[in-house]
Amino acid sequence: MLSQRLRELGWIEGRNLTLAYRWTEGRDERAAEFAAELVRLKVDVIVTNGNASANAAKRATSVIPIVFTLVGDPMGTGLVASLARPGDNVTGLSIEQADLGSKRLGVLREVIPSLRRLGILANISSPGAVLEMGKVQSAARTLDLEVVTAEIRQMEDIAPAFEPLKGRVEALYVVGDPLITANATRIQTLAMGVRLPTFFSARHFVQAGGLMSYGPNFPDLFRRAADYVDKILRGTKPGDIPVEQPTKFDLVINLTTATALGLTVPPSLLARADEVIE
C-alpha cells in the first residue's frame, strides 16, 4: 500500500524513487543493525513499522527524517514531544492500541458472557506492548476479570508461555507487535491446542485462525504514511507534520474458529463486523 500510494503521488520506483527494504523478522535486536545500515546508505527518509524499529531509527539518526507507522503511544514511549508538534526529525501515524483494550474486552464478553479469567500474551521487550498490557489489565479489573500474564521476549519463549495459561484462563488477549506478527500461526496453533479463544489487534491474525480482532485498518495507515513521505520529499520538515491517529477500524470474526471452539457469535455482533471469515 505504501509503494502504491507513492506511485499515485508521482514517485515511481526506478525513475525518481529507490526503495530499500529491511525486515527484522520480529527480532527487535535487528532493528538497530538495519537502522544503522540505512543511515550509512544516506537515504532521504526512513519509514518504520512498530515501536522497536521507530526507536532504533531515532537512536541511529537525528538528521534523516523518520516516518513511523503502527506505533502505540508515541509520546509515552518518547518518540515525539507532542502529537501536534512532534519536533526533531520524527513524525508518523500512531495506532493508539493501548486505548482499545476496553473496547476489545467488551467485544470478547459478547461472545463469552461467562468470561471470568483472561490471559494476556505480550512481548515485554516492546515498550508499546508493555503500555498496552497495563491498559488491558486496568480494563479487565473494571470488568471484574482475573488476569494471568504470559510474558515473552523472543520466539523461543512462546511455547513455554502457554504453560501457565493451561486450565487457568478462558480466553487469550494477544498484544500485537512485530514479534507476535512473525509468529502468528505458531501462537494460534498453541492456543487451539489448549482450546483458548484468541483476541488479536489486526485482521491478518484472524486470517491465521484467530477468533477475533479489532483495531486500525493497517493498509489505510500505510497509504497515509506515503503522504507523509511525499510531504517530506517535497521539503516539509517532519517535526512540523502532526502525528495522526487511525480513522478506520475493523472488527473481524473467524466463524470457523468459533465453531471449532464451540462458541456462538451473537447475530448482533456479526452484523457489526467489517469482515466474517467462514
> CATH number of 98-215+250-277: 3.40.50.2300, 3.20.20.70, 3.40.50.300, 3.40.718.10?
3.40.50.2300
- Which sequence spans correspond to the domains of the chain? 2-96+217-247, 98-215+250-277
pLDDT of the residue at 97: 56
pLDDT of the residue at 78: 87
pLDDT of the residue at 54: 93
Angle at 231 between CA 76 and CA 95, to 5 degrees: 30
pTM of structure: 0.84
Q: Determine if residue 50 is left, alpha or beta; phi over 0 gives left, psi from -120 to 50 gives alpha, anything else beta.
A: left
Q: Whole-angstrom Cα distance, residue 67 to residue 229?
A: 7
CATH 3.40.50.2300 matches 2-96+217-247: yes
Residue 96, C-beta contacts closer than 8 angstroms, at least 6 positions apart: 72, 73, 245, 246
pLDDT of the residue at 95: 85
Query: Tens of pLDDT along the chain (278 residues)?
Result: 899 999 999 999 999 999 999 988 878 789 999 999 999 999 999 999 888 899 999 999 999 999 999 888 898 888 999 999 998 999 999 987 556 888 999 999 999 999 999 999 999 988 888 888 999 999 999 999 999 999 999 999 999 999 999 999 999 999 998 899 999 999 999 999 999 999 999 999 999 999 999 999 989 999 999 999 999 999 999 999 999 999 899 999 999 999 999 999 999 999 999 999 99
Q: Are 40 and 64 in contact (CB under 8 A)?
A: no
Closest CA to 244 of 264, 266, 226: 226
DSSP the chain: -HHHHHHHTT--BTTTB-------TT-THHHHHHHHHHHHTT-S-EEEESHHHHHHHHHH-SSS-EEEEEES-TTTTTS-S-SS---TTEEEEE--GGGGHHHHHHHHHHH-TT--EEEEEEETTSHHHHHHHHHHHHHHHHTT-EEEEEEESSGGGHHHHTGGGTTT-SEEEE---HHHHHTHHHHHHHHHHTT--EEESSHHHHHTT-SEEEEE-HHHHHHHHHHHHHHHHTT--GGGSPPB----EEEEEEHHHHHHTT----HHHHHH-SEEE-
Q: Whole-angstrom Cα distance, residue 14 to residue 32?
A: 27
- C-alpha cell of 250? 475493523
DSSP 88-104: TTEEEEE--GGGGHHHH
pLDDT of the residue at 98: 52
